[in-house]
Amino acid sequence: MTFPILTSLIVLPIVGAVLLFAIKEDDAHAATIRNVALIVSALVFAETLLLWSRFNAATADFQFVERHAWIPAFGISYFVGVDGISLFLLVLTGLLTPLALLSSWESVHKRLKVFCIFVLLLESAMIGVFVSLDLFLFYVFWDAMLVPMYFLIGIWGYDRRVYAAVKFILYTMAGSVLMLLAILGLAYMHNTANGAYSFDLLRMYALPIPERVQFWFFLAFALAFAIKVPLFPFHTWLPDAHVEAPTAGSVILAGVLLKMGTYGLVRFAFPLFPAAAATFAPWLALLAVVGIIYGALVAMVQPDMKKLVAYSSVSHLGFVVLGIAAMNTQGMQGAVYQMLNHGVSTGGLFLIVGMLSDRRHTRLIAEYGGLKRVVPHLVSAFLLVTLSSIGLPGLNGFVGEFLILLGAFRADPRMAAFAATGVILSATYMLWMFQRVNYGEVTNEANASMPDLSRREWTILVPVVAVAVLMGVLPNIFLRPIEPSVDRMLALTQRSASFRAQAARSPERLALPNRGVAARSPERLALPNRGVAARSPERLALPNRGVAARSPERLALPNRGVAARSPERLALPNRGVAARSPERLALPNRGVAARSPERLALPNRGVAARSPERLALPNRGVAARSPERLALPVRGPAPHSPGSARLSAERRVP
Amino acid sequence: MISSLNAIVPMLCVTAAGLAAMVAESFRDPGERMPIAGLGIVGLVGAAVATLLLWNHNVSSFGVVSADNFGLFVTWILIIVGALSIAFSGPTVERERLPAGEYYALMLFAIAGMMLMATASDLLIIFLALEVLSIAVYVLTGIRRDSAQASEAAFKYFLLGAFSSTFFLYGIAFTYGLTGSTHLDRVGSLIAAQAMAPTPMQLLAVGFLLVGFAFKVSAVPFHMWTPDAYEGAPPAVTGFMSTGVKAAAFAAFARVFLTAFEPLRGDWGVILSVVAGATMIVGTVVGVAQSNVKRMLAYSSIAHGGYLLVALIAANDVGKGAVLFYLLTYAVTNLGAFGVIAVLDNGDRANDRVSDYAGLWNEHPGLAALMTIFLLSLGGFPPMAGFIAKWYVFSAAVKAGDNALAIIGVLTSVVSVFFYLRIVVMMYMTSSSQPLRFPAVPKIASVALAVSAILIFYLGILPTRVLDWAAESISTIF
């Protein structure tokens, strides 16, 4: 029995919350409360790092899997696991929670104990969302997470906190309840197909879902996630929630909660409903691009720093969705990477805005100016985080945005072109804000005596900046574990959607495609052109009758025009190439031959070097898993194995 | 001879306790304090033991009361309802100077009636039980005789209730005329044997019974009495009737419509679907506009009735189990919420307006936390029981293909969250300028509240066992 590391990650914050509950709340114990909360969250972070160190980056499978029956009558289990996509989101959650707690040390005095309890409960629910591999469990964490966040905004927020908190919870719930229905629908489809209920995500991946149903289920899932992301036009809750939330709330909200929307798209909506995803991906991409530009433009005119950063999140998350909707490796890898980047840099921005607002109790850009002279250390950290948010090469933001644009370009160059303007716009609004806040003369007297970073604030900012640089300089240590998992999700997303759906609806439809027609009117199959034959028999006999009547020579000599213009084109089709470089026609692979002659001679050289037995026994893996598949490749279109359905269908359908 | 009484032993225990309470009251000197509530608890414990012993035995008495697992599960819910209601009644009875003996006796008689209703397998016995519990509850509603509002509420409740009882009786009469029997099994087999297309007489019979039940479970459009009665009654009584009456009525509703009138489901299913949709929508939408917490919870209880109807209409194994699980969850949760209201009732001040809850967190953090748990559970948040219950109901609807009802259900539950959160906002996010207004919390009531909260988390996090029981219970009759 191995140590249940994921469960311990979920439970540890709850244990911390219970510990805090037992501490008496008064001024004398304030330091104890802070330390307990901080230590617990730091332990969680350490544990996520431990998880990373133990993580096997070579495989796409879920690791550290735990599975226990929970509600067996409905096939619901406590089923958790981590792959490359969720691994770093866990690490990000682990990193941001202690930072968020630290950032609130000076600003939260009212009801400190309850505040820390809610932050820890929130952390537990967030971890739960990222590790759940059971749809029911996922939904439980997804909804449970709303409650602590609601209280964090509503109790410790700014002036319009109640409005913002209620809006936050209602928007998110309205989206997610329909997802609950879709989850239930999936479970019942699993029951119909396999005779047992299940909410197991991995089984759901293999479940054949009719295309029409996919359409609705995808919409239900995508709505829930689009609201959470938030994708334009579902973003209106975000600026309110961000602006009114306390610093810790904003950091967690921007850093982790928004990622749940994009994570949900990658993990659930796209791979579960590939056919619908293929249909809707261009529309999602369009909304994402609108969001990128709209968010950037609105951010530009904000007088309030927090609101500016909030709208910049709309823009940046648009990039993430664009990458996902591109449905190729670069795009999706970039999207996953950009989720982490956004967590670090926007989290960092909110932390810095929080520090300024702790000092001056205002977040209006106009209230500041010339801070560089007063608080140089804070400003240099601010600059680094700003540049990382813009996407300067060498810092984290660049890698993600570059990959996403690359992927988007492959999917649809127009989208990439419009999205790229977002990069410029983000430089505009961020740098303009930075300039107004930090450069020039100190115009406001109150700013002149601002203290620079305290030791606590150093502790907060150093990790943020260090991670931003690390992710910019060495992206591969993050991308390598992500890659296999992304490829796996993509493979699921790109399954031949139509065949899968057809096979699900009725296997015999594949075998006898025109069954229905045959039943209704057998003569239609036998004499397909019956109607035409009835109306004008000569049309069937002489299909080109009209052409023949108009210009008989067109039928006799189809290439007559070309022949007239340049007779030699018909005779020597490759004449141009021959003229420019005669050897290209003679030796088509000349270039490869020149660069590396052995590639032509031994095309599978690389595979041979890595694993010689793969060349010798290509189907080795299949043979190991199920020998009968090799022996009987076409065993019939069973509903559970769309792959074999496809194979056999391809042979039967001419 | 004695063994033929087995099935009604739980009712006998409760009735005996009620009679004992009346006798004790008559021997009480004016001003003397007597633990009459304790008698009720003793009776309930007796009933609980009897129920436990009867479990799985499927006995019946006189051929009209059958203690099958379905009825016993509801009996269990009613015992919990009774125990919690008695625990919450203490402060009210004392503060309002209500006649303790009569109060508890009426409550116990009502519970006995509810138990009978849950286990009766004959339409006439169901009617008898309905009257026993209704009359007791009418009186409890108006037990504060000096309060004009309470008297008005009781009178309204009584008039409309009597009216609906006649519908119910008509329904029984028509059924008897059609089939020559009032026993559910016979009615069911005779209706099934009759013509394929339902006759107008059958439809009339079903329609009348439907109206009678719809009134008792306060389904739209027969819900008008609910807000007034809930607001006028003392909070402990409101909690009692909003959960107990609903549990008993739904048990009988399910039994009558899913056994005797099952062959006509194609006809009543359509009508009931419309009723359920309207009930959920009216309950939540009107609930948003309320400024009195009791009225708000009255509309919330109407909406919850709608969810129960959704499970009933689905009529599959999941739906039947969902009715039971939902009734249990709803009973514990709603009683908890009314328990908090009862505890906050200050004699001269009811403290039942939403604005009265401002700053409760500062004065009674524990009470505010418990109220939050109850409200979030009513709203259907995990990991509270309300989530599992709603999930169960919507599973049933999705399984039966009632997608429209499921969608109305989830969307109205989002709207309902809005008004539950209004109270939370008041308690946590609004500060009050008024000085201490809330009385101290009596021990028994706070223990009962804590028990409710623990039950809610238990049912929300580890529901497996109770779900299995619910599934077992329905397998005995349907």
Q: pLDDT per residue over A310-321, tens digit each?
A: 999 999 999 999
Place of tokens 């005329």: B177
The answer to whether residue A548 is domain-embedded is no
B123 with B255: CB under 8 angstroms? no
Cα separation, A167 vs A150, in Å, equals 9
The b/e string for A173-203 (b: 16+ C-beta within 10 A; e otherwise) is bbbbbbbbbbbbbbbbbbeebeeebbbbbeb
Cβ(A141)–Cβ(A129) below 8 Å: yes
Give residue A422's domain range. Answer: 5-495
Q: Check whether A555 has a pLDDT greater than 90.
A: no
CA distance B319 to chain A (A): 13
| pLDDT higher than 90, residue A648 | no
Q: Does A187 touch chain B (CB under 8 A)?
A: yes
- pLDDT (0 to 100) of residue B397: 92
What value does the mean pLDDT take over residues B79-102?
A: 88
- Residue A464: which residues within 8 A CB-CB, separation 6 or more? A99, A344, A347, A348, A351, A381, A385
Instruction: Determine the pLDDT at residue A636.
Output: 45
Mean per-residue pLDDT for A227-256? 89
In chain A, the number of structural domains is 2
Question: Is there a contact between A73 and B425 if contact means CB atoms under 8 Å apart?
Answer: no
Same domain, A294 and A430: yes
| CA distance linking residue B460 with residue B383, whole number of Å | 5
Instruction: Read off the pLDDT band of B436 (50, 70, 90).
Output: low
Q: Which residues between 353 and 392 in chain B have a beta carbon less than 8 angstroms from any beta carbon of chain A?
A: 376, 381-383, 387, 391
Reported as a single tens digit per residue, the pLDDT across A490-517 is 888 877 544 444 444 444 444 444 555 5
Confidence of residue A568 (pLDDT cuts 50, 70, 90): low
DSSP 8-state code for residue A588: T
Distance, in Å, from the CA atom of B65 to the CA atom of B241, rounded to the nearest integer, reads 23
Has residue A478 been placed in a domain?
yes
On whether residue A477 sits in a domain, the answer given is yes
- Chain A residues closer than 8 Å to B398 by CB: 181, 184-185, 188
- Are residues A166 and B414, on separate chains, in Cβ contact within 8 Å? no
Chain B CB contacts of A73 under 8 Å are: 464, 467-468, 471
- Let me know: does A402 contact A334? Beta carbons within 8 Å: yes
pLDDT surpassing 90 at residue A621:
no
pLDDT at B105: 93
> Is the per-residue pLDDT at B430 higher than 50?
yes
> In percent, how much of chain B has pLDDT > 90?
60
How is residue A538 written in tokens? 């000569």
Q: Which two tokens stand for residue B459?
A: 């049912």
Q: Note whether A78 contacts B: Cβ–Cβ < 8 A.
A: no
pLDDT at position B20, please? 93
Same domain, A55 and A169: yes
Per the domain annotation, does A570 fall within a domain? Answer: no
In a domain, A507, yes or no: yes
Cα–Cα nearest to A559, from A549, A546, A573, A545: A573
pLDDT for B80: 95
The helix (H) or strand (E) run that includes residue A64 is: strand A63-71
Kindly calculate the radius of gyration of chain A based on its CA atoms and give it in whole angstroms: 30
Is the pLDDT confidence value at A519 over 60? no
The yes-or-no verdict on residue A17 having pLDDT over 50 is yes
Residue A603 in this model has a pLDDT that exceeds 80: no
Helical H segments across A229-328, by residue range: 237-244, 247-252, 258-264, 270-272, 274-300, 305-326
Sequence-ordered alpha helix ranges (H) in B27-99:
36-54, 69-96
Give contacts of B375 with chain A, Cβ < 8 Å: none
How near does any CA of chain A get to the CA of B410, in Å?
Answer: 6
- Quick one: A456 and A505 in the same domain? no
pLDDT, tens digit (0-9, with 9 covering 90-100), for A290-345: 999 999 999 999 999 999 999 999 999 999 999 999 888 889 999 999 999 999 99
Per-residue confidence (pLDDT) for residue A263, from 0 to 100: 93
Mean pLDDT of A141-148: 92
Residues A501 and A389 in one domain: no
A403-436 pLDDT, tens per residue? Answer: 999 999 998 888 899 998 988 899 899 999 999 8
A191 with A247: CB under 8 angstroms?
no
Q: Identify which of B417, B430, B468 has the shortest CB distance to residue A73.
A: B468
Do A505 and A452 belong to one domain?
no
Same domain, yes or no, for A222 and A368?
Answer: yes
pLDDT value, residue A203: 87
**Domain endpoint, select from A464, A495, A526:** A495
- Percent of chain B whose predicted confidence (pLDDT) is above 70: 98
Task: For B248-274, write each residue's pLDDT tens digit.
Answer: 999 999 999 998 888 888 889 999 999
- Burial class, B77, CB count within 10 angstroms (exposed 0-12 / middle 13-18 / buried 19+): buried
In a mutational test of the B interface, the residue from A70, A181, A191 whose CB has the highest number of chain B CBs within 10 Å is: A181
Q: What is the mean pLDDT of residues B320-333?
A: 94
Arithmetic mean of pLDDT over chain B: 90
Domain C-terminal end among A438, A460, A495 = A495
What confidence tens digit (pLDDT) does each residue in A264-286 have?
A: 999 998 889 888 888 899 999 99
Q: At what angle do helices B200-216 and B246-255 cross, to 10 degrees?
A: 160
For residues A326 and A296, membership in a common domain is answered with: yes
The whole-number average pLDDT for the span B144-151 is 88
Can you give the pTM of this predicted structure?
0.83
Q: Which helix (H) or strand (E) holds A68?
A: strand A63-71
* Residue A180 to residue B410, Cβ atoms within 8 A: yes
Same domain, A503 and A411: no
| B59, β-bridge pairs | B67
State the Cα–Cα distance between residues B96 and B90, nearest whole angstrom. 10
Please report the pLDDT score of residue A73 as a whole number.
Answer: 85
Question: Alpha-carbon distance B149 to B156, whole Å?
Answer: 11
* Cβ count near B282 (within 10 Å): 19
Per-residue model confidence (pLDDT) at position B336:
94
Instruction: Report the length, in residues, of chain A.
Output: 654
Mean pLDDT of chain A: 81
> Position A222: which residue type?
A
- Which of B318, B376, B391 is the mutation pick for testing A, counting most A CBs within 10 A? B391
Q: Is residue A247 part of a domain?
A: yes
From start to end of A184-254, where are the E strands?
Answer: none
Q: Is residue B297's pLDDT more than 90?
A: yes
> Using one digit for the tens of pLDDT, what is the confidence trace for B31-62?
777 788 889 999 999 999 999 999 888 888 88
Report DSSP letters for A37-92, one per residue.
HHHHHHHHHHHHHHHHHH--TT--S-EEEEEEEEEGGGTEEEEEEE-HHHHHHHHH
> In the prediction, which pLDDT does A506 show?
47
Q: Kindly state the DSSP code that residue B244 receives in the 8-state scheme.
A: I
B95 burial via Cβ count (<10 Å: 0-12, 13-18, 19+) = middle
Q: Quick one: A56 and A131 in the same domain?
A: yes
Closest by CA to B305, choosing from B230, B220, B369, B217, is B217
What chain B residue is nearest to A163 in terms of C-alpha separation?
Answer: B425
CA nearest neighbour of B44 among B104, B119, B125: B104
Does the beta-carbon distance from A147 to B381 stay under 8 Å?
Answer: yes
Tell me: pLDDT of B318 over 60.
yes
* Closest by CA position to A465, among listed A366, A395, A550, A528: A395
A146 and chain B in contact, CB less than 8 A = yes
Residue-wise pLDDT for A436-462, tens only, equals: 888 888 887 887 888 888 888 898 999
Buried b (16+ CB within 10 A) or exposed e, B412-435: bbbbbbbbbbbbbbbbbbbebeee
* Rg of the Cα atoms in chain B: 21
Based on the fold, state whether residues A479 and A502 are members of the same structural domain: no
pLDDT band at A120 (very low <50, low <70, confident <90, very high): very high
d(CA A309, CA A365): 12
CA distance B140 to B352: 19
Structure token pair of residue B209? 């019974």
Which of A143, A162, A173 lies closest to B425 in CB terms?
A162
Same domain for A400 and A503, yes or no, is: no
The helix/strand count (H/E) of chain B reads as: 20, 2
Contacts of B456 in chain A (CB under 8 A): none
- Residue with token string 């008509």: B170
pLDDT at B412 over 80: yes
User: What are the chain A neighbours of B400 within 8 Å (beta carbons)?
Assistant: none
Tell me the pLDDT band of A42, cut-offs 50, 70 and 90.
very high
The residue of B417, B418, B456 whose CB has the most chain A CBs within 10 angstroms, and thus the best one to mutate to test that interface, is: B417
A562 located within any domain: no
Q: Is the confidence at residue B467, as pLDDT, over 80? A: yes
The helix/strand/coil state of B66 is strand
Mean pLDDT across the stretch A574-578?
Answer: 64
pLDDT at residue number A125: 94
> Quick one: pLDDT band at residue A634, thresholds 50, 70, 90?
very low
Position A615 in a domain: no
Q: Residue A77 has what DSSP assignment?
A: E
- pLDDT score at A650: 41
CB-based contact B464 A146, cutoff 8 Å: no
> Are A428 and A504 found together in one domain?
no
Q: For chain B, give every domain's residue range.
A: 2-477
Does residue A110 belong to the interface with chain B, where contact is any CB pair within 8 Å? no
Cα dihedral A244, A246, A247, A250, rounded to 10, equals -50
For A:596-625, CB contacts with B below 8 A are none
Q: Which of A139, A141, A154 sits opposite B428 (nearest CB)?
A: A154
Mean pLDDT of A134-141: 93
pLDDT band at residue B305, thresholds of 50, 70 and 90?
Answer: very high
Q: Does A521 score more than 60 pLDDT?
A: no
The ipTM of this complex is 0.92
Tell me which amino acid residue B435 is: P
Q: Which of A495, A521, A536 is the last residue of a domain?
A: A495
Contact B398 A73 (CB under 8 A): no
Beta strands at B65-67 and B59-61: parallel, antiparallel or unpaired: antiparallel
Give the model's confidence band at B317: pLDDT under 50 very low, under 70 low, under 90 confident, else very high.
Answer: confident
Does B443 score more than 80 pLDDT? yes
Measured between beta carbons, which residues in chain B are less than 8 angstroms from residue A146?
381
Residue type, A527: L
Contact B411 A72 (CB under 8 A): no
